[in-house]
C-alpha cells in the first residue's frame, strides 16, 4: 500500500514509521526543509523510545522517504493521513487551519480514488468540513472518502501504542474506505471499533478529558489527605482495586501537562459550548490542575516568610519521564511563579532542550543533581525521573543550604527523607515532616 503522511510531528512520525515497519511504501511530508533533511539522514527530530533504530532501518530498506513536495507525495499515494497540529486558541477554540491547508493541497492532487484519514485531534464536524472542501473544489465524490481515525498515543510509548494500543477507532460510513483501512491496520494487534465520524472525533476528547479528570480528582483527595494525616498512596491503591475504577491515572502529584490533556480538555469545553452543552466537570478538572501545578509554590509560601533571594533547585523539567517534551509541564509554571517572587532557580533535566533555555534564559541549567542542589534552600521534584528514585538523599541534604525537599511526584519515602537529614519534607498527600533541630540548618 502507498501511504502519504502529512506532518512529520510527533504523531506523523510515529504513524509513518509504524506503517513503514510493515513494508508499506510511506512518504512523509513536512513543510520544514531542515526537518525533512534531518529525517532523511536518519536523525530523529523528537526523542521517543525505539524511534531512531526504526527510522534508520526503514530508510535503509527504502520503506520510507521524507519530502516537502506534498503534491507528488499525494498523487503517488492510495491513502493520505493528515497528522498536522491542531493547537488550542486562547479562547479554547481549536485552530484547524493546518488541517484545512492540508485538505486544500490534497484537493489539488486527487486524480484517482484515495482514502483521506484525519488522524489529528479535531473538533466534531471537521470530517464534514474536509469533505466539503473537496466537493467545493470540484473533486469528484467517487474519488475520495474521508475517514476519522484519532490517535491515543502516549509519549514514551508511542510506537508500542500505535502498533498494539488498547483500541483503534475508525469513523467512516464507506465500506470501500474501511476495506482499505483494514488492510493497512491488518498487521497491528489492536481492537478496532467501527463507528460514524462524529463518534470517532468525540472519543478522543472524551478519553483525554476523563483521564485528566481522574488525575484532578485524586489530586484534590491528596490535598485533603495532607490536612488530615491520611495517606494518598494507600487511598489510591484501595480505590484502584475496585475494577470499576481501575488503578490507572490515580497517581497524585503536581498535575498533568503535555501536548494533549491541557489542550484537549479546554477544546472539549469549547466544543460543548457551541452545542449548548456545559462541561462543568471538565471545567473544574482544568481549574484544579491549574492550582495543583503551583502546589509547591503554595507550600513554599507557607514555609518561608519571603521567597525573594531563596535558591530553589528544580529536579526534572519535562511533563513526564521518557520524553524531552516540556509543553505545558508543571515545572514551567512553578519556575515562572518563583522567578516573579524573586527566587533564584537552578534546574536539572538530562533532556533539557534549547526551547527551555529560550523560555527561561536567566536560570541556571546544571549538569547533575548535586550541582543543582548545591547551596540551594529547597529542592522540588517536578518529574519522576529514574535517577531521582535512586539518588543518595544523604548527599543531597548535605549539599543544600537548608535541606527542604518538596516531592511533587511522591517518589521519596517520608521515613527515608527523615533519616537522610532533611529538615523539612513535603509530599502531595503522602505525609510531611518538620525537624526542629537547629543543627540541621547550616
Ligand atoms: C496522553 C494520553 O494518555 C494519550 O492517550 C493521548 O493520546 C495523549 O495524551 P501523554 O500526554 O503522552 O498521553 O501522557 P500521559 O502518560 O497520559 O500523562 C499525562 C500527564 O498526566 C503527565 O503530566 C503525567 O505526569 C500526568 N499524570 C498521569 C498524573 O499526574 N497522574 C497519573 O496518575 C497519570
Q: How far is the CA of 408 from the centre of ligand 1 (A)?
A: 15
Ligand 1 contact, 120 CB (< 6 A) = no
All 3 cell numbers of residue 229?
494525616
Report whether residue 320 contacts ligand 1, using a CB cutoff of 6 Å.
yes
The set of catalytic residues is 260
Tens-of-pLDDT digits for all 442 residues of the chain?
899 999 999 999 999 999 999 999 999 999 999 999 999 999 999 989 999 999 999 999 999 999 999 999 999 999 999 999 999 999 999 999 999 999 999 999 998 999 999 999 999 999 999 999 999 999 999 999 999 999 999 999 999 999 899 999 999 999 999 999 999 998 888 899 999 999 999 999 999 999 999 999 999 999 999 999 999 999 999 999 999 999 999 999 999 999 899 999 999 999 999 999 999 999 999 999 999 999 999 999 999 888 999 999 999 999 999 998 999 999 999 999 999 999 999 999 998 878 899 999 999 999 999 999 999 999 999 999 999 999 999 999 999 987 899 999 999 998 888 899 999 999 999 988 887 654 444 3
2-195 shares its CATH topology with 293-434: yes
Phi, psi of 25 (to 5 degrees): -85, 110
DSSP track, 254-299: S---SSSHHHHHHHHHHHHHHTT---HHHHHHHHHHHHHTTHHHHH
Residue ID of nearest Cα to ligand 1 atom 3: 154
Output the CA 215–ligand 1 centroid distance in Å.
Answer: 9
Torsional class of 82: left (φ above 0), alpha (ψ -120 to 50), beta (otherwise): beta
CB 261 near ligand 1, within 6 Å: yes
Q: In DSSP terms, which residues pair with 381 in a beta bridge? A: 315, 407
Q: Is 204 annotated as a binding residue?
A: yes
Looking from the CA of 142 toward its CB, the CA atoms found within 13 Å total 0
- 3-class SS of residue 436: coil
CA distances from 39 to 8, 52, 432 (A): 9, 10, 48
SS3 content of the chain, % helix, strand, coil (to 5): 45, 15, 40
Residue 215: CB within 6 Å of ligand 1? Answer: yes
Q: Are strands 424-427 and 432-434 parallel, antiparallel or unpaired?
A: antiparallel
DSSP 125-185: THHHHHHHHHHHTT--GGGEEEEE----PPTTSHHHHHHH-S-EEEE-S-HHHHHHHHHHH
DSSP string, 10-70: HHHHHHHHHHHHTT-EEEEE-S-HHHHHHHHTT--SS--TTHHHHHHHHHHTTSEEEES-H
Taking the centre of ligand 1 as the mean of its atom positions, its distance from the CA of residue 73, in whole angstroms, is 33
Mutate-to-test residue for ligand 1 from 206, 211, 250, 407, highest number of ligand atoms within 8 A of CB: 211
Rounded Cα–Cα distance for residues 367 and 297 (Å): 24
Long-range contacts at 33-38 (CB < 8 A, ≥ 24 apart): 33/68, 35/8, 35/66, 36/8, 36/66, 36/67, 36/68
342 labeled binding residue = no
413 labelled ligand-binding: no
Q: Which architecture characterizes domain 204-291 according to CATH?
A: Orthogonal Bundle (1.10)
Residue 253 in contact with ligand 1 by CB distance below 6 A? yes
Which pLDDT value is given to residue 352?
A: 81
Query: Which residues make beta-bridge pairs with 314?
Result: 347, 380
Complex prediction ipTM: 0.97
**Apex 284 CA angle, 154 and 405, nearest 5:** 65
Distance 285 CA to ligand 1 centre (A): 14
382 Cα to the center of ligand 1, angstroms: 14
Place of cell 529538615: 423
Residue 309 CA, ligand 1 centroid: distance in Å: 34
What phi, psi does 39 have (nearest 5°)? Answer: -65, -40
* CA atoms of 411 and 381, how far apart (whole Å): 9
Q: Do 74 and 80 form a contact (C-beta atoms < 8 A)?
A: yes
| Residue 421, H or E segment | none
Interatomic CA distance for residues 93 and 267, integer angstroms: 6
Position in ligand 1 atom list of the atom nearest CA 248: 33
For the chain, the straight-line distance linking the first and the last C-alpha, in angstroms and rounded, comes to: 68
Q: Determine the residue of 260, 329, 430 to mutate for testing ligand 1's pocket, defined as the one with the most ligand atoms within 8 A of the Cβ atom.
A: 260
Name the closest-CA residue to atom 1, ligand 1: 154
pLDDT for res 133: 97
Q: State whether the beta carbon of 19 lies less than 6 angstroms from ligand 1.
A: no
Q: What is the pLDDT of residue 433?
A: 86
Compute φ and ψ for 81, nearest 5 degrees.
-110, 125
pLDDT in the model for residue 437: 53
Is 433 annotated as contributing to ligand binding?
Answer: no
List, in order, residues 6 or more apart from 62 with CB less than 8 Å away.
none
Cross-sheet strand order for the sheet of 25-29 = 64-67, 25-29, 2-6, 79-82, 114-118, 144-148, 168-171, 192-195
What does the DSSP assignment read for 303-348?
Answer: H-S--TT-EEEEE--SSSTT----TT-HHHHHHHHHHHTT-EEEEE
Q: Is 346 annotated as a binding residue?
A: no
CATH topology of domain 2-195: Rossmann fold (3.40.50)
| Distance of alpha carbon 3 from alpha carbon 421, whole angstroms | 59
Phi and psi at residue 115, to the nearest 5° = -100, 125
Which residue has the CA at smallest separation from atom 6 of ligand 1?
152
- Domain map (residue ranges) of the chain: 2-195, 204-291, 293-434
Of all protein residues, the one whose alpha carbon is nearest to atom 9 of ligand 1 is 260
Give the per-residue pLDDT at 282: 98
Q: Whose CA is nearest to atom 13 of ligand 1?
A: 154
> Do 321 and 388 contact (CB within 8 A), yes or no?
no
Atom of ligand 1 nearest to the CA of 383: 25
- Give the distance (Å) from ligand 1 centre to CA of residue 242: 21
User: Is the CB of 217 within 6 Å of ligand 1?
Assistant: no
Enter the C-alpha cell of residue 88: 488550542
* Minimum CA distance residue for ligand 1 atom 27: 256
Ligand 1 touching residue 331 (CB < 6 A)? no
Assign domain 293-434 to its CATH architecture.
Answer: 3-Layer(aba) Sandwich (3.40)
Amino acid at each position: 500500500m502507498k501511504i502519504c503522511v502529512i506532518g512529520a510531528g510527533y504523531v506523523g512520525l510515529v504513524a509513518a514509521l509504524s506503517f513503514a515497519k510493515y513494508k508499506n511504501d510511506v512518504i512523509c511530508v513536512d513543510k520544514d526543509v531542515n526537518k525533512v533533511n534531518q529525517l532523511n539522514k536518519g536523525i530523529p527530530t523528537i526523542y521517543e523510545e525505539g524511534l531512531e533504530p526504526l527510522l534508520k532501518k526503514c530508510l535503509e530498506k527504502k520503506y520510507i522517504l521524507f519530502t516537502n513536495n506534498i503534491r507528488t507525495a499525494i498523487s503517488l499515494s492510495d491513502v493520505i493521513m493528515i497528522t498536522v497540529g491542531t493547537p488550542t486558541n486562547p479562547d479554547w477554540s481549536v485552530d484547524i487551519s493546518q488541517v484545512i491547508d492540508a485538505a486544500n493541497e490534497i484537493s489539488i492532487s486527487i486524480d484517482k480514488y484515495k482514502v483521506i484519514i484525519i488522524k489529528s485531534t479535531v473538533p466534531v464536524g471537521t470530517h464534514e468540513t474536509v469533505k466539503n472542501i473537496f466537493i467545493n473544489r470540484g473533486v469528484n465524490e467517487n474519488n475520495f472518502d474521508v475517514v476519522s481515525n484519532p490517535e491515543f498515543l502516549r509519549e514514551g510509548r508511542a510506537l508500542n501504542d500505535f502498533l498494539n494500543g488498547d483500541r483503534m477507532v475508525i469513523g467512516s460510513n464507506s465500506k470501500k474506505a474501511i476495506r482499505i483501512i483494514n488492510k493497512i491496520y491488518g498487521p497491528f494487534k489492536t481492537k478496532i471499533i467501527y463507528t460514524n465520524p462524529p463518534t470517532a472525533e468525540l472519543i478522543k476528547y472524551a478519553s483525554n478529558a476523563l483521564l485528566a479528570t481522574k488525575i484532578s480528582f485524586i489530586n484534590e483527595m491528596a490535598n485533603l489527605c495532607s490536612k488530615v494525616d491520611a495517606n494518598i498512596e494507600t487511598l489510591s491503591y484501595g480505590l484502584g482495586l475496585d475494577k470499576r475504577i481501575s488503578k490507572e491515572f490515580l497517581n497524585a502529584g503536581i498535575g498533568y501537562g503535555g501536548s494533549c490533556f491541557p489542550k484537549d480538555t479546554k477544546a472539549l469545553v469549547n466544543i460543548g459550548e457551541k452545542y449548548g452543552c456545559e462541561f462543568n466537570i471538565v471545567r473544574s478538572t482544568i481549574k484544579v490542575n491549574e492550582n495543583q501545578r503551583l502546589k509547591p509554590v503554595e507550600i513554599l509560601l507557607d514555609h518561608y516568610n519571603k521567597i525573594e533571594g531563596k535558591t530553589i533547585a528544580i529536579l526534572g523539567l519535562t511533563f513526564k519521564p521518557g520524553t524531552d517534551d516540556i509543553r505545558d509541564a508543571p515545572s514551567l509554571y512553578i519556575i515562572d511563579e518563583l522567578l516573579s517572587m524573586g527566587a533564584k532557580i537552578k534546574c536539572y533535566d538530562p533532556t533539557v532542550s534549547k526551547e527551555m533555555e529560550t523560555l527561561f534564559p536567566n536560570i541556571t541549567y546544571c549538569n547533575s543533581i548535586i550541582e543543582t542542589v548545591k547551596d540551594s534552600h529547597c529542592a522540588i521534584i517536578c518529574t519522576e525521573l529514574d535517577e531521582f528514585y535512586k539518588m543518595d538523599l544523604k548527599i543531597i541534604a548535605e549539599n543544600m543550604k537548608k535541606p527542604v525537599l518538596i516531592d511533587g511526584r511522591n517518589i521519596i519515602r517520608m521515613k527515608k527523607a527523615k533519616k537522610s537529614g532533611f529538615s523539612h519534607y513535603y509530599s502531595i498527600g503522602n505525609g510531611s515532616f518538620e525537624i526542629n533541630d537547629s543543627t540541621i540548618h547550616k
